[in-house]
A and B are shown apart, each in its own frame.
Chain A
Amino acid sequence: MKVTIKVNGNQVAGEVADRTLLVHFLRDVANLTATNVGCDSTSCGACTVLMKGAGEAGGGKSVKSCTVLAAQADGCDVTTVEGLADESGEMHPVQAAFHAEHGLQCGFCTPGMVMASVSLLAENPSPTEEEVRTALEGNLCRCTGYHNIVRAVLAAAPAIERRSA
């Protein structure tokens, strides 16, 4: 079937099998390979992207793209970590905070962690540490780097507020 998804602001169309998963559409059709396939079973969150249906407000909600069909995202807006930086290449505050706070070790979980964090901060602009930990329960880091990840999200919150002020 033909699937058209607006990925990071660009219309991407492809003729794909009905059973194609969104994560494979992003990696193999849109050629955006930052979104990783981790557990492939809705647990680890490495494949987290933002998805927004037609007519929905805001920047989209976090979803695990290993558990969404490309067909379900047909006509939707999807944002991957490649789409976060602005036109000049300046990193999104969440990316900058992960960099500054060293919120990663091997980096495999990072794209999903960053997207889940962007979604969290859109829903709750000034979370407590406890709320950050709870909101990231669907994202696993096997390097056990959670402390710096939580620190990064807490540091990003005021930076996003300043940016939108």
Chain B
Amino acid sequence: MIPAPFTYKRALSVDEALDLAARDGADAKFLAGGHSLLPLMKLRLAVPEVLIDIGRLGELRYVREEDGHIAVGALTSHDELSRSSVLASELPLLAHAAGQVGDPQVRHRGTIGGSLVHADPAADLPAVVLALDATLVARGPSGSRQIPVGDFFQSLFETVLEPDELLTEIRIPKPEAPSRWAFQKFTKRGIDWAIVGVAVQGGSVALVNMDQTPMRAAAVERALAGGAGPREAAVHAAKGTNPSADINADVRYREHLARVLVGRALEESLAR
């Protein structure tokens, strides 16, 4: 399988990437690791006329502590996240979940920014970043803006980013109790997307693949805030969800998995 023809352009700075995007507008796509975009292009589900390769922008590859939060460059690979000593101590949820994405080869190429802007509700990191109350920083022709992650995902494969905007950084507040985390996903094979997944950080609970976007399990969070225990709170895990039915699972099965996995994750987060 070969993608439809396109013109390849390589950006060597964020400014150059933004210039190229401003020129080619809606016909262009940014290419980071390519592990979401290239498979779609090979299937001809995505047919951009121009690819702007941002894969060499070292300025967007970092994990660092800034006052009160952790700043993650959008081009940091899943492999780099999983090995980051800063994340291991401050955000072990993100380090662990990044190490569960795909397989080693995928983690060597795939990036956190790519995963977020692709906005696949079955992907792991969008829900993790949602549970962590991140703020996403995007740059466009008119400057930089900060987007609360709760406003970022619009629908299936759709975010609030404009075609000429580039996600540059993910800012994550340091959790009060970093060790109170858990990540659970259910797959048929290790390398598959989650049929359902859940990310827990303290009293925040986010679900993978239970709607058109990653979502917070609001009813579970309310129950926890009201003093409910893990199993008691997990009963509410499917409330307000809108999962799809597909070859892997029907709606009721996904709802059941959400309750089971949320219960396990909450217990795990409390046992650490």
Please give the residue numbers on chain A whose beta carbons come within 8 Å of chain B beta carbons, in ascending order. Answer: 1, 17-19, 21, 24, 40-43, 45, 48, 53, 61-64, 67-69, 71-72, 116, 119-120, 134-135, 137-139
Contact = CB atoms under 8 A, between A and B. Distances in A.
B231 interface: no
Given A61-B79, A138-B105, A138-B191, A67 B38 contact: yes
A45 B105 CA distance: 8
A153 to B, nearest CB: 13
Interface in B173-196: 189-191
B105 A41 contact: no
A60 to B, nearest CB: 9
B1 A40 contact: yes
Contacts of A120: 104
Contacts of A139: 103
A1 B7 CA distance: 9
B33 to A, nearest CB: 9
* 4 residue pairs, one from A and one from B, having the closest CB atoms: A138-B103, A18-B8, A137-B190, A61-B108
Contacts, number: 81
Contact of A53 (B10, B56, B103, B191): B56
A134 B190 CA distance: 8
A129 to B, nearest CB: 15
B42 A40 contact: yes
A135 B105 CA distance: 9
Contacts of B109: 63-64, 67-68
B142 to A, nearest CB: 29
Q: Chain B interface residue count: which class?
A: 20 to 34
Interface of B: 1-8, 10, 31, 34-35, 38-39, 42, 51, 53, 55-56, 79, 102-106, 108-109, 189-191
A62 B35 CA distance: 14
B83 to A, nearest CB: 9
Contact of B42 (A18, A41, A64, A138): A41
Given A119-B104, A134-B190, A42 B39 contact: yes
A45 B6 contact: no
A120 B104 CA distance: 8
Contacts of B108: 61-63, 119
